Structure 1
Amino acid sequence: MAAHGFLLASLVLSFLAETCYGVTFSSLQRTLVVTSSPKAGEVLKAGQDQLTVTWSYNQTFPAGTDSAYKTTRTRPASSKSSPSPTAPLTTPSLGPLRRTYPPRLTFVRAYVYNSNGDQAAFGQTTNTQKTTNLFEIQAITGRHVSLDIASVCFSAFSIVSLFGFFYMEKRKANLAQQK
């Protein structure tokens, strides 16, 4: 009976080990040449500006190095050591910056994936030290007119409701006294 438990535990652990397989960033080759529309020092506004990204295979690598490449994804990556956003930009070269991007100094990184969906290589618009070709994403600032209108409407509704309920309670109390 103990042998069956050990066998079952071994199988479970082997399946878990298989699902934990991952590719480290340091193991990826930088085989892509990536360029983006913002120039160094430019400020893009989240939710308004668009980002154009182009990439190509670095021809200095031997022919066939890119034979396993199947798909590409791009994403803004922080110039600091903090993790990159989890949701990549879409594969097309042109995409709006989502409103949820935090303000930061950033660059663009593109990953290529093999047929198994594993990261196979990368390219980025900055150097290894992340000090060149950086641009800034500015978060949404200020209020929109629609938000101001909605807040006024809800405030007015709450005041009218308060007085309405107050009037109804007073009326109920007067009717109860008259009986």
Structure 2
Amino acid sequence: MKFRVIISLLLVFFLAQTCYGDVFFSSLPRTLVVSASPLQGQVLKAGEDRITGKWGLNESLKASVVSLEYKNVKVSLCYAPVSQIDRGWRATVDNLNRDKTCQFTIANGNYDASQTSQSFDWPIEKDIPSATYFVRVYAYNSTGEEVGFGQTTDASKISNLFEIQGISGNHVSFDIASICFSAFSLVSLFGFLLMEKRKNKRLSEN
């Protein structure tokens, strides 16, 4: 009986989680126009280059209606489909609570309905991995739920894509240290073998 009660409670909790608070990307209107500095196919370097751009409300929409529920925005760097293949940790999921497309925040702040467009300037961080990307902006309501979006690419995410070349992690100092350690290990090995040889020689003489 107790086991059935636990199962029932877990089922109720699961249903509550799936029915409340979940926002699906397919349900969001594309109300924002977004542009960014990288050109199609351009290769940028992590830790060196920058991404600049701007976003604003689509002029064909009535700002007095749409912007009333827009309270905050977040600009994100997002993986393109070509860099998501066989990488479940980057997978696109319609449920935004489980979506892993946009993992890096470029900028966030309050939505200012008085401005027709707002800009961003982001130095590419050193820990950004090598991949193909695009830029997406989400608009949030007062409860923190996504209510609109815009992006630099098309719906199929094949246009206006750019690449970022990540830092490999191989530095000159690391390479030098590795060489020195290898040389030290080799010298130590020869020294040990030489000592063993002399020791064995003395034992044989005795």
Which TM class, normalised by the smaller chain length? 0.7 to 0.9
Give 1:14-163 correspondences, 5 Å limit.
Answer: 14-20=12-18, 22-62=22-62, 63-66=64-67, 67-80=69-82, 82=84, 83=91, 85=101, 87-91=103-107, 93=120, 94-104=122-132, 106-140=133-167, 144-163=171-190
| Further displaced range: 150-159 or 130-139 | 130-139
| Further displaced range: 36-45 or 108-117 | 108-117
User: CA 1:60–1:162 in structure 2 vs 1: closer, same or farther (change >3 Å)?
Assistant: same
Equivalent-residue separation in structure 2 for 1:172 and 1:118 (angstroms) = 76
How far off is 1:37 after superposition? 1.6
User: What's the CA shift string for 1:72-129, capped at 9, x where partnerless?
Assistant: 141133054833555223426313144442333x321122333444332211012223
Identity of aligned residues (%): 41
How far off is 1:175 after superposition? 7.0
- 1:13 matches 2:11: yes
CA contact (8 A) 2:40 2:159 kept: yes
**Matched residue, 2:94:** none
Structure 2 stretches lacking a partner, 5+ long:
85-90, 92-99, 109-119
Equivalent-residue separation in structure 2 for 1:30 and 1:19 (angstroms) = 26
Q: What number of residue pairs does the alignment pair up?
A: 176
> How large is the RMSD of aligned CA atoms in angstroms?
3.3
Equivalent-residue separation in structure 2 for 1:101 and 1:15 (angstroms) = 37
TM-score normalised over the length of structure 1: 0.74
How far off is 1:142 after superposition? 9.9
TM-score normalised over the length of structure 2: 0.66
Amino acid at match of 1:65: V
Equivalent-residue separation in structure 2 for 1:172 and 1:114 (angstroms) = 80
Amino acid at match of 1:121: G
**Matched residue, 2:117:** none
CA contact (8 A) 1:51 1:97 kept: no
How far off is 1:176 after superposition? 6.3
CA contact (8 A) 1:77 1:109 kept: no
**Matched residue, 2:112:** none
